[in-house]
Amino acid sequence: MKRIIILGGRGDGLVVASCIEDIITVTKEKISLLGFLNDSGEDKINEYRVLGPLKDASSFSNQEDLFFVSALLKVKRSYARSMLINSLNISLSKFITIIHPTATVAKSAKIGSGTVIGPHVTIMPNVKIGNHCSIRASANIGHDCILEDFCYMGPNSSLAGRSKMAIGAHLGANSSVLDSKVLGAYSVVGISSGVVRNVNSFDVVFGCPARKIGKAYK
């Protein structure tokens, strides 16, 4: 049996926990959620134990049947999030990919390690998704899109065909990206926005059409 530890806490951590619970219920796959690692100081999150702070992750990583998944989302701080995950010194092979049973994934799509695909997500042919990405409920990824590592797509967001999200890019809930456009590294698209032109790295954009309103943090 594969045992899973979520890196994170309430909010995003419980979203990932819910996906794991649904996989167990629907598919009967032999996996179990062991608990969380986070720095909140809590003993439990809902019914799950907090096993310690994030820095303890490496002490669990030598257990053969134990795997990790990240739920460390902070809007405008994707760069810091990626640095934090890399600093934990966990082998990529120890990160498990979570795909909700209701997701539709084309056979030709490729999904990296530690990525979470939520309920009712649609992933079209020839899509390439990197490691440690989070694709939330009912998001749609068009054909031939590329998502590099640490990308986030919010609920009901849509990425039209041949578009690209560079490392750490964030697409907010209910937002859409026109085909063949590029969201630069660690850029942020605010909720309910429409992207009709490329977005530069670290830019924060909002509106329809989306316009620059600020910068994300390094």
Backbone angles phi and psi of 63, in degrees to 5 = -85, 125
Span 33-87, pLDDT tens digits: 999 999 988 899 999 999 999 999 988 988 889 999 999 887 778 888 899 999 9
In this structure, whether the domain defined by 98-215 belongs to CATH 2.160.10.10 is answered with yes
Domain ranges within the chain, ordered by starting residue: 2-84, 98-215
Question: What's the CA gap between 25 and 28, in Å, rounded?
Answer: 6
Which of the following CATH numbers is that of domain 2-84: 3.40.50.720, 3.40.50.2300, 3.40.190.10, 3.40.50.20? 3.40.50.20
Question: What's the CA gap between 158 and 140, in Å, rounded?
Answer: 5
Q: What is the pLDDT of residue 30?
A: 87
Order of strands, sheet of 176-177, starting from the edge strand that comes earlier in the sequence: 104-105, 122-123, 140-141, 158-159, 176-177, 194-195
Q: How far are the Cα atoms of 4, 115, 116, 118 from residue 64, in angstroms, in the given order?
A: 11, 20, 21, 26
Q: pTM of the entire structure?
A: 0.95
Q: In 10 A of CB 38, how many CB atoms?
A: 21
